[in-house]
Structure 1
């Protein structure tokens, strides 16, 4: 059956479909990023924006303490933890405002509309281009098997062959896979966080369509509460607590009461 056999794909498909589609999508993403930078409004620094920046920096400080606290001894970790979450005076116990309504800032809404337009128009053009020139054939095979045929709709758009192995990818599906999977490549090219995350843009559009624009503002109150609980239950283990034992291994002297430990047996000379 075709599902058990390997298809021999023409190398010209690689040269004239697979690689050109990747190059075109990367160029479109680069162009979209630069256009976004050109049309974006100049941010106005206000007291609210400075307060939001401070809240985010406090959250980052607490998250770094949770993730990298193992490099601190117990006293240093507990001192920083107490500074963050101690009762009444802990920095994460401060009264902070809740989520702001994005609709109250018209400039944010205008920037959001500009970003959606810059995202949608190139995507519509690329989908029409790919559908017209590259639709209806298999372009590559992924190097690992997929567990079931539930991925067939995602991997083989435009190719209606029920007997075809699900690991083969159609040209239209290749377009979607590259579009939503090249965020890491774009970060390497552009560096930092750019305006090229297609998955995030689609989530923003879906959120706007379902009334989710009200939830897009930064909610400092909820973020502080969640981070305070996470830091409160965080377990600490100093990474250098048993460094001597890990270094010496079997030669590490066992503790004994009332007897002196002979260190002559632990000489580094062989």
Structure 2
């Protein structure tokens, strides 16, 4: 049977609060360090043009049902035809774009800086937490949980008799690591509040690939089923007018 614990207030003052404050300060400091390390690159005209094409194609999908079927087919052909469509990317061009992206030294250096600005602070912070706060029960979640959450919330505590809702100091570190996006959005702004989960997903790649985006948008536009809604709106308007006249 799970046991209930009485947590000392000193744990709150010397473990829970300092750990939370340090995680927030490290996140803010890492943002400004990454901003200083970021090299200025002039905008690529080709990438901007391809981005605008993607936006136009998405606008066409969003408003497809508000234009006649013939007009929609003409516009879709303009984007997706295999000869000179705006969204069509030849295979050799896609391979060249990927090779150029991986061979760009500035892009590789920026990616390395981003990885270092994330890995080094988190490694040092985890070592600090593991050395000073290992084995502490830092907090208790105010609602019951199942046994599946034990490994996630009680990392570093090998006591199966403790209730699952108690959180160890090491698990509190990981919860702050992946769950502070809302707070960073208030401090740094919504556009700058990228959490560490998204950063880890981007560590293996070089970010936005315009050729993949064009191909995905082309496939998405090809499968759009057109259904003109304006005739239905005219019929509804006529029905409403008839009811009002009666």
TM range, normalised to the smaller chain?
A: 0.7 to 0.9
Tell me, yes or no, if structure 1 residue 229 matches structure 2 residue 212.
no
Q: Which residue of 2 aligns with 1:191?
A: 189
CA distance in 2, matches of 1:23, 1:177: 13
Q: How well do the aligned residues superpose, as a CA RMSD in angstroms?
A: 3.6
1:97-120 deviation digits (Å, cap 9, x = unpaired): 344234412222222222222222
1:12-23 correspondence runs (5 A): 12-23=10-21
1:24, distance to aligned residue in structure 2 (A): 1.6
Q: Which residue of 1 aligns with 2:118?
A: 119
1:148-169 deviation digits (Å, cap 9, x = unpaired): x333222111111112233322
Q: Which runs of 5+ in 2 are unaligned?
A: none
Q: Which residue of 2 aligns with 1:61?
A: 56
Q: Which residue of 2 aligns with 1:133?
A: 132
- The answer as to whether partners of 2:39 and 2:110 remain within 8 angstroms in 1 is yes
CA distance 1:245–1:17, change in 2 (3 Å): farther
Q: Which residue of 1 aligns with 2:68?
A: 75
CA distance 1:10–1:100, change in 2 (3 Å): same
Q: How many residues align?
A: 240
Larger % of helix: which?
A: 2
CA distance 1:262–1:200, change in 2 (3 Å): closer
CA distance in 2, matches of 1:198, 1:35: 15
- The answer as to whether partners of 1:100 and 1:217 remain within 8 angstroms in 2 is no
1:262, distance to aligned residue in structure 2 (A): 5.6
Tell me, yes or no, if structure 1 residue 263 matches structure 2 residue 244.
yes
Tell me, yes or no, if structure 1 residue 105 matches structure 2 residue 115.
no
- The answer as to whether partners of 1:32 and 1:196 remain within 8 angstroms in 2 is no
1:240, distance to aligned residue in structure 2 (A): 8.0
Q: Which residue of 2 aligns with 1:37?
A: 35
1:135, distance to aligned residue in structure 2 (A): 2.1
1:192, distance to aligned residue in structure 2 (A): 4.5
CA distance 1:155–1:253, change in 2 (3 Å): same
CA distance in 1, matches of 2:81, 2:134: 61
CA distance in 2, matches of 1:60, 1:146: 44
CA distance 1:204–1:223, change in 2 (3 Å): closer
CA distance in 2, matches of 1:11, 1:244: 69
1:29, distance to aligned residue in structure 2 (A): 1.0
CA distance in 2, matches of 1:186, 1:253: 52
Task: Report the secondary structure of 1:18's partner residue.
Answer: helix
Task: Report the secondary structure of 1:93's partner residue.
Answer: coil
1:27, distance to aligned residue in structure 2 (A): 1.2
- The answer as to whether partners of 1:69 and 1:236 remain within 8 angstroms in 2 is no
Q: Which runs of 5+ in 1 are unaligned?
A: 208-212, 255-259, 266-270
1:33, distance to aligned residue in structure 2 (A): 1.0
CA distance in 2, matches of 1:103, 1:93: 22
- TM-score scaled by structure 1? 0.71
CA distance in 2, matches of 1:239, 1:173: 53
1:40, distance to aligned residue in structure 2 (A): 1.9
